[in-house]
Amino acid sequence: MDNRNVLGALFMLPAAAILLTFLTYPLGLGVWLGFTDAKIGRGGEWIGFENYEWLWDDSVFRLSIFNTFLYTVVASIVKFALGLWLALLLNRHLPFKSFLRAIVLLPFIVPTVLSAIAFWWIYDAQFSVLSWTLMKLGLIDEYINFLGEPNLARASTITANVWRGVPFVAICLLAGLQTISPALYEAAAIDGATPWQKFRNITLPMLSPIIAVVMTFSVLFTFTDFQLIWVLTRGGPINATHLMATLSFQRAIPGGALGEGAAIAISMIPFLLAAILFSYFGLQRRKWQQGGSDR
């Protein structure tokens, strides 16, 4: 049993079987479904691009594309900024560093839906603790309808997403920061660099490969987010927070239009590919990382 190829194939068999059956095949099936008028309960017939044409004229669909981009771009930028800041803070000489690092990750560990419920409660129109505090401070007159007013709802969902995502970005960037040799900062200090100059000339350039990876993941997961929106707003109010993923679900399962739902889901793919390629170029080994002779 030592023939490499035979053994290799054998070892790969279980993984390949599961993935081909439940991932590759459904992917193709999903694409096919998008070209049919399948409904729950009855099979579908080929209708070509009709779904897509219809969707293109659907204002709700177009709104969901806009929402998805808005949600992704804003949340990702904020997550990156706050995550980087937090990583820089955690990289310092602090007491209880491991403990701090551990509790910082909690929002990311805890099941999304369950923490979303907590936000649901915090955002409640009648009993929100945020509104209560702001009222007591005299900053507002009446309770804020966090999830009931379109733009407020967008801001609230983005905030919840940021809350969940910052730890992931922060911890990954922290790992990256720790690979930068302290001697570089010492050399820079001797060369006369201020903290900002150290950040711009050493930290950022050396961190950029890992930033590319982390943000790609972050963008990917934010773009295809479902849980948070579904729990908090179900896509409302007036479709203001509908993402492509939530719209796809709504049309397909409660709505019963499987073909249409599949078409919405599949139309996410071009955008996802664009995001991956974008960061692939960020991942390219830079000139200064290439070449390398032994000491």
Enumerate residues 183-242 that contact other proteins by CB under 8 A: 183-184, 186-193, 197, 201-202, 205-206, 210, 213-214, 217, 220-221, 224-227, 230-231
DSSP-derived 3-state class of residue 11: helix
Contact 143, 135 (CB under 8 A): yes
**Rounded to whole angstroms, how far apart are CA atoms 141 and 265?**
42
**Rounded to whole angstroms, how far apart are CA atoms 261 and 33?**
9
**Stretch touching other proteins by CB under 8 A, among 52-60, 72-80, 117-125, 144-152:** 117-125
Distances (CA, A) of 205 to 66, 82, 208, 289: 32, 18, 5, 11
| Touching other proteins, residues 263-282 (CB under 8 A) | 265-266, 268-269, 272, 276
| Touching other proteins, residues 23-42 (CB under 8 A) | 23, 25-27, 29-30, 33, 38
**Rounded to whole angstroms, how far apart are CA atoms 34 and 29?**
9
- Which of 23, 72, 83 lies closest to 221, judged by CA? 72
**Stretch touching other proteins by CB under 8 A, among 50-58, 72-80, 149-157, 244-252:** 244-252
**Stretch touching other proteins by CB under 8 A, among 47-55, 56-64, 71-79, 127-135:** 127-135
**Stretch touching other proteins by CB under 8 A, among 49-57, 59-67, 107-115, 148-156:** 107-115
Contact residues for 236 (Cβ-Cβ < 8 A; gap 6+): 147, 153, 242
Distances (CA, A) of 177 to 36, 88, 185, 221, 262: 50, 8, 12, 23, 41
Question: How many residues belong to the chain?
Answer: 295
Q: Residue 9 half-sphere exposure, CB side, CA atoms within 13 Å?
A: 4
Of 153 and 170, CB closest to other proteins: 170
- Binding-site member from 100, 140, 238, 277 for other proteins (CB under 8 A): 100
- Residue span 42-61 as binding mask against other proteins, x where in contact by CB under 8 A, dash where not: --------------------
Concatenated DSSP letters of 273-291: HHHHHHHHHHHSPPGGGS-
Contact flag: residue 9 with other proteins (CB under 8 A): yes
**Tokens 């943000």 correspond to what residue?**
215
The minimum distance between CB 56 and other proteins, in angstroms, equals 19
**Tokens 């310092």 correspond to what residue?**
92
- Binding-site member from 77, 106, 140, 277 for other proteins (CB under 8 A): 106
Of 59 and 98, CB closest to other proteins: 98
- Residue span 62-91 as binding mask against other proteins, x where in contact by CB under 8 A, dash where not: --------------------x--xx--xx-
**Stretch touching other proteins by CB under 8 A, among 50-58, 73-81, 102-110, 144-152:** 102-110
- Binding-site member from 67, 72, 115, 239 for other proteins (CB under 8 A): 115
